[in-house]
Amino acid sequence: MTRTLFHGGQIVTEENRNPIKRDILVEDGLIIAVEESITSVNADTEKVDCTGRIIVPGLYDVHVHLREPGREDKETIETGAQAALNGGVTGILAMPNTTPPIDNGGMVRYVLNIAREKAAVTVHTTGCITKGRAGHALAEIGDMVAGGAIMITDDGDPVHDPLVLRRAMEYARNFDLILGMHCDIKELFNEGAMNEGAASYRLGLPGIPTASEEICMERDLRLAKLTGARVHIQHVSSAGGVEIIKRFKNEGVQVTAEVTPHHLIFNEDDILDYNTHYKMNPPLRSVEDNEKLLEALNEGVFDCIATDHAPHTSFEKKLDFCSAPFGITGLETALASLYDRFISKDKLRWDTLVRCFSGAPRRLLKLPSVEIKKGNTAEFLMFNPAETTTASKEFFCSKSVNSPFFNKTMQGLVEKVVIGGVVKMDRTKSDA
């Protein structure tokens, strides 16, 4: 029997607007007590001083690209999971746009077997909606579910054919399976590289209109209403998208939605020198979109915060802006960036962050709760608001460092991560 007392910290929950002082007693990986002060413990109980730290339930990211199999030069399941741990993310959902795509039960089992063997955090996987993510014929959905897939998506591309998507929704409904929807109209997206508007004209770059995302979103949600399917709208980037989601939620459609830290924080005006670390899909929109997305997060329109962690090699990201691939990494900077830009400035509350980045994602996928309460598995992180995070090359555990935060310093630091009662990551080494 092993016992550890985490004392002096402040825990955050979905029920409390602000962190509250609580001691946490853990025995053999389970939380056996959460009290304002725990003073009576056995002599052999290990003590971890959490004074000045915020104790946050382990984060869960519903949108991560791990690249394995096929592009292990960008990321592997092992390095992606280590990157997650580095950022306080203890569970991740992998996207299926690998090479080859995860479009059958055998591929699902392959990924999950590697994860069980090598991943430092819990890894779940999605499967494709269509074979090869080509948008023409349904993938082996039943076989993928049997293999362990907990969502289907063609992320990176929409399902172009609405009839195919309708059939996928009807089939997925029989499994109570969620469809993750990447929304864009390829004919409108065309060869675009950034948001269409004054900034794209100024930089001479082909633009991507918000209509590309919003028309597809409207279509997908109309089909969800028709079929009764459960759908999850991925990486919403525009104010118009927020209004569409609100409307369909009010109509009773089973829709959830996610927003990324980078769409909350950055906008088209940050693309000053054709820096490809600001190129993502959907693209960074306007300042007004930033404001609407944050407002929607605080109002509860968004169910999840997700990073859309998309590693690429430095060679690829050094190409010209139009030729470079879309996507940035996000697992390691998400919490620090959200604290730095919003929580520390009272623009976002801790309870909202815990709901959208820990509790709600797990409920969406019907996974066990890691809420900090008696009887639950001890799975949480210690965040030090007095320290800083510098996203240097040495800081990153991911194979790729294509991040708009690269070499920037943010207020706040993930100091420790506890999984199953065991400290799996520790930047202090002196608190025990």
What gap in Å lies between CA 194 and CA 375, rounded to an integer? 48
3 Cβ contact partners less than 8 Å away, ≥ 6 residues apart: 25, 26, 27, 41, 42, 44, 45, 46
Q: Read off φ and ψ for residue 204, nearest 5 degrees.
A: 70, 30
What gap in Å lies between CA 98 and CA 112, rounded to an integer? 14
The question of whether 308 is a catalytic residue gets the answer: yes
What gap in Å lies between CA 367 and CA 173, rounded to an integer? 19
Burial annotation 364-393 (CB, 10 A radius, 16+ → b, else e): bbeeeebbbeeebbbbbbbbbbebebebee
- Residues paired with 309 in a beta bridge: 64
Classify the phi-psi angles of 275: left when phi > 0, otherwise alpha if psi is within -120 to 50, otherwise beta. Answer: beta
How buried is residue 57: exposed, middle or buried, by Cβ count under 10 Å (0-12/13-18/19+)?
buried
The residue annotated as part of the active site, out of 184, 289, 308, 431, is 308
**Beta strand pairing call for 409-419 and 422-426:** antiparallel
**Contact, 280 vs 156, CB < 8 A?**
no
**Contact, 283 vs 262, CB < 8 A?**
no
| Best CA proximity match to 92, nearest among 260, 290, 331, 315 | 331
- Residues paired with 31 in a beta bridge: 26
What gap in Å lies between CA 216 and CA 153, rounded to an integer? 15
Positions marked active-site: 308
